Amino acid sequence: MRRTHGLSPPPAFAPIHTLSAPELKARLAQGTPPHLVDVRTEEEHALARIEGARLLDQAYHDELLGLDRGTEIVFHCHHGIRSLQAAEYFRRHGFTNLYNLDGGIEAWSVLVDPGVPRY
């Protein structure tokens, strides 16, 4: 029998969930929508945006870190890569209710709102 000397394994991180554009549309229409975080550049955000999304600048970053760790947060970027990295960052900071928009704002433009410019 192996002795652990009272040490327990580190806690497992909560999963980062994937959310489709139509699923996000439904979540945003609910009474208490999730925090929707845009991790793209200011220029990209100015070009095309999802209504209600906030650009992740330093002030918003600090605000998010002050939230309850169970707060529902959805991250998005252009195609879903940068937003997944941002979700990983917040997961490492103890957040447990994280989502990544599958296909990013590109999927939103194609599947939900063709009025959002594609680039």
Q: Which residues are catalytic?
A: 77
**Cα–chain-centroid distance for residue 118?**
20
Smallest CA-to-CA distance from 24 within 63, 53, 2, 55 is with: 53
